[in-house]
């Protein structure tokens, strides 16, 4: 098949969406399919599709492990965005007053909440012999135009949200409109399927595919090397957090819970691994005042694997996850997990079987669950074993790519 994956950002930009699109694309290329990625040249982007800090890499085309990546320049000039903003304000006001119909307002709404990269649209219009276009709608606006181009060219159009389903992100009318107009919606969890079904998308067009992990990358973690490097005593326990150093990940709540953990098990270390953000330096200064907190930013994959091998358990207290890839990374390393109780995490973690859930923002309950796993090593190891078993059965990139391909092929009939 000739496949296009459209995504707003791509590595070296850091984020779960970029990572998942890249890994899925590479796996499909390994299976013999021609995969192209259409993306912007931005390193960071806000909800309106505006490149933060004007950090752009420039137009380029390159090969990434068998996948052809097209970077299109995203315009960041306020002289372009400001007129769009005023047009959107006027159009929104007219719609609320009943002067303008929703269908007329939709393109203005979509254009405002979209990266400005006209060359991507032109390239798609000129592309020949495409079998599928699969797009990630964040920011959401460009998908309205991609979908309409695909309909014009008679190419099946799929959206794969890959973002959390909190109402604040998904309440905009045109996202639901794009989902309804698409040929299929690929989601990560059962909860996402229920969510989009409630929005009026036919259930038979919503496919739960999940995400994946590459088991071979997690086979040889060096726990001793990590302990030595971080000066963690051999008999100490290690609680691990992996995620972007962003306030939305609720690292502060985890730190608060550790105060109770230290009262019961003082020889416990908290290790925080994450991608840098604007908050990283301040966060490191604050957290490292506590001698048993180790903060490591922008670590290599090797260091992450070593940290997982060294850890007793992984905690992800974030509410803003579409899946929580780090759960799979912990499980494939044989470690139990603790997550905030959300509809998403309840779709992934089987409580008291492969992990535990706590009621956000109850730091004391989180502490109790951390202490339970640290004090009951046999239970923790069994949870880690079952998590690994589940990951190997359902959540490798090979299996995820196969499920995705089945959706694509069904649209060719």
Which residues is 269 bridged to in the sheet? 238
pLDDT for 81: 76
pLDDT for 383: 98
Give me the residue label for tokens 């389903």. 165
Each of the 413 residues of the chain gets a pLDDT tens digit; together they read: 999 999 999 999 888 889 999 999 999 999 999 999 999 998 888 766 666 655 688 889 999 999 999 999 988 777 777 888 889 899 889 988 888 887 888 888 888 888 888 999 999 999 999 999 999 877 778 898 999 999 999 999 999 988 765 554 444 566 788 888 899 999 999 988 998 898 889 999 999 999 999 999 998 899 999 999 999 999 999 999 998 887 878 999 999 999 999 999 999 999 999 877 766 677 777 776 778 999 998 888 899 999 999 999 999 999 888 888 999 999 999 999 999 999 899 999 999 999 999 999 999 999 999 999 999 999 999 999 999 999 999 999 999 999 999 999 999 86
pLDDT for 85: 86
Q: DSSP assignment of 293-348, as one string?
A: EEEEES--HHHHHHHHHH-SEEEE--S--SS-HHHHHHHHTT--EEEE--HHHHHH
Give me the residue label for tokens 């960071």. 44
pLDDT for 54: 58
CB 178 within 8 Å of CB 362: no
Torsion of CA 69, 392, 394, 400, to 10 degrees: 10
Q: What does DSSP say about strands 2-6 and 132-135: parallel, antiparallel, or unpaired?
A: parallel
Output the CATH code of domain 215-394: 3.40.50.2000
> Do the domains spanning 2-212+397-410 and 215-394 agree at the CATH topology level?
yes
Give the residue among 380, 358, 343 at the shortest CA–CA distance from 253: 358
Give me the residue label for tokens 């290690």. 238
Domain boundaries, the chain: 2-212+397-410, 215-394
CB 176 within 8 Å of CB 199: yes
Q: Kindly give, in sequence order, each residue whose CB lies less than 8 Å from that of residue 122, ignoring residues fewer than 6 positions away.
A: none
Give the residue among 198, 175, 191 at the shortest CA–CA distance from 322: 191
CA distances from 389 to 143, 356, 364, 373, 382 (A): 37, 17, 30, 19, 11
pLDDT for 170: 44
CB 182 within 8 Å of CB 151: no
Where are the extended beta strands (E) located within 107-153?
Answer: 132-135
Superfamily of domain 2-212+397-410: Glycogen Phosphorylase B; (3.40.50.2000)
């Amino acid at each position: 098949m000739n496949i296009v994956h459209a995504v707003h950002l791509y590595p070296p930009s850091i984020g779960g969406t970029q990572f998942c699109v890249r890994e899925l694309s590479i796996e499909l290329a390994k299976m013999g399919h021609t995969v192209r990625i259409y993306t912007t040249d931005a390193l960071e982007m806000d909800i309106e599709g505006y490149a933060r800090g004007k950090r752009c890499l420039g137009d380029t085309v390159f090969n990434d492990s068998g996948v052809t990546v097209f970077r299109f320049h995203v315009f960041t000039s306020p002289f372009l965005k400001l007129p769009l903003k005023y047009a959107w304000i006027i159009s929104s006001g007219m719609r609320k007053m009943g002067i303008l119909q929703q269908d007329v307002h939709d393109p203005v709404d979509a254009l405002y909440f979209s990266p400005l990269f006209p060359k991507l649209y032109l390239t798609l219009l000129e592309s020949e012999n495409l079998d599928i276009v699969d797009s990630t709608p964040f920011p959401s606006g460009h998908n309205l135009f991609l979908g309409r181009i695909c309909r014009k060219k008679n190419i099946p159009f799929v959206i794969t949200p890959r973002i959390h389903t909190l109402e604040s992100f998904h309440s905009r009318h045109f996202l639901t409109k794009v989902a309804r107009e698409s040929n299929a919606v690929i989601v990560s969890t059962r909860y996402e399927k229920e969510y989009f079904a409630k929005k009026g998308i036919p259930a038979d067009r919503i496919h739960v595919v999940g995400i994946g992990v590459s088991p071979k990358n997690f086979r040889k973690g060096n726990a001793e090397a990590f302990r030595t490097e971080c000066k963690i005593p051999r008999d100490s326990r290690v609680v691990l957090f992996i995620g972007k150093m962003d306030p939305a990940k609720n690292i502060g709540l985890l730190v608060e819970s550790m105060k109770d953990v230290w009262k019961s098990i003082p020889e416990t270390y908290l290790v925080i691994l994450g991608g840098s953000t604007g908050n990283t330096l301040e966060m490191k200064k604050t957290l490292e005042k506590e001698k048993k907190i180790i903060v490591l930013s922008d670590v290599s994959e090797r260091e992450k694997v070593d940290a997982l091998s060294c850890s007793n358990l992984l905690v992800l207290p974030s509410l803003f996850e579409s899946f929580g890839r780090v759960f799979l990374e912990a499980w494939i390393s044989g470690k139990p997990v603790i997550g905030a109780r959300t509809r998403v995490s309840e779709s992934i973690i089987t409580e008291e079987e492969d992990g535990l859930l706590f009621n956000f923002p109850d730091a004391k309950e989180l502490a109790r669950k951390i202490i339970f796993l640290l004090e009951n090593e046999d239970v923790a190891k069994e949870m880690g074993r079952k998590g690994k078993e589940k990951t190997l059965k359902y959540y490798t990139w090979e299996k995820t790519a196969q499920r995705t391909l089945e959706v694509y092929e069904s649209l060719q009939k």
